[in-house]
Amino acid sequence: MYDILIADDHPLFREAIVNVIQSNFPDCTLRETENLDNAVALTEQHSDLDMILLDLNMPGMNGLNGLITLRNSAPTIPVVIVSAEEDKQIVLQAITYGAVGFITKSLSRDEMAAALRQVLAGEVYLPSTIIRANPADTPQRRRQEENQLAPEVLSSLTRRQLLVLERMSKGEANKQIAYNLNIAETTVKAHVSAILRKLGVHNRIQAILSASNVDFSQYLKR
């Protein structure tokens, strides 16, 4: 089925995530390591890995530099950060540097399993608590506020597109959105493509972040 590498120097957490994966993806091949050098070596030996779960703070990482090293070594393998870190700026930087997801260690087993399913389905995962985080006033926050969506941009979205964007901003995957809105998943994908085009962004994460502080009720009244 899937071939997954878990790179984390905490044996208890590795054991916990192994249990989550084995419970939800019983036919998986799991590989484990506790430092960056071994992680890079394993990706060279197994270039067909389906996913790497990467701890930000294990030996050799040096923060996000380790992510960059791993992405350069294995550019085609999806990397998901698994960390106790919940600072929104760190999360955004990780996505900028090529991670396809950021799983916080405070997630429940069910939430973690759902996040893994989302990434393995080819989507990006960010926890809704991170997406909606409201940090203190900082230069970074002021830049984010300057990049918020203009009312005329939001007004250009159809009601259905607004509903899809609202669900996206809550961290829902396409399959969840389709179920909640009672529409086909292919229809959701079409709406997402139209939303990205109208918002002038290149990917789902940029759309989610630009809409993180939008009061959708205001636009859905029309």
pLDDT of the residue at 214: 84
The amino acid at 145:
E
| pLDDT tens sequence across 114-168 | 999 989 988 888 877 666 555 444 444 444 444 467 788 888 999 999 999 998 8
pLDDT of the residue at 132: 59
Taking the C-alpha atoms of residue 29 and residue 113, their distance in angstroms, rounded to an integer, is 16
| 58 or 139, higher pLDDT | 58
- Establish whether domains 3-131 and 139-217 are of one fold: yes
Taking the C-alpha atoms of residue 32 and residue 168, their distance in angstroms, rounded to an integer, is 32
| pLDDT tens sequence across 85-118 | 888 778 888 887 888 889 998 899 999 999 999 8
pLDDT exceeds cutoff 70 at 35? yes
Please count the helices (runs of H) and the strands (runs of E) in the chain: 13, 5
Taking the C-alpha atoms of residue 100 and residue 123, their distance in angstroms, rounded to an integer, is 8
| pLDDT tens sequence across 64-74 | 899 999 999 99
Q: Nearest 10 degrees: CA dihedral of 22, 25, 30, 35?
A: -80
Superfamily for the 139-217 domain: Response regulator (3.40.50.2300)
Q: Within 13 Å of residue 97, how many CA atoms lie on the same side as its CB?
A: 21
Taking the C-alpha atoms of residue 87 and residue 129, their distance in angstroms, rounded to an integer, is 10
Tell me the whole-structure pTM to 2 decimals: 0.68
Report the CATH architecture of 3-131.
3-Layer(aba) Sandwich (3.40)
Taking the C-alpha atoms of residue 28 and residue 31, their distance in angstroms, rounded to an integer, is 10
Three-state DSSP string of 172-202: CCHHHHHHHHCCCHHHHHHHHHHHHHHHCCC
> Which residue, among 81, 185, 179, has the nearest Cα to 125 in the 3D structure?
81
Going from N- to C-terminal start, the domains of the chain cover 3-131, 139-217
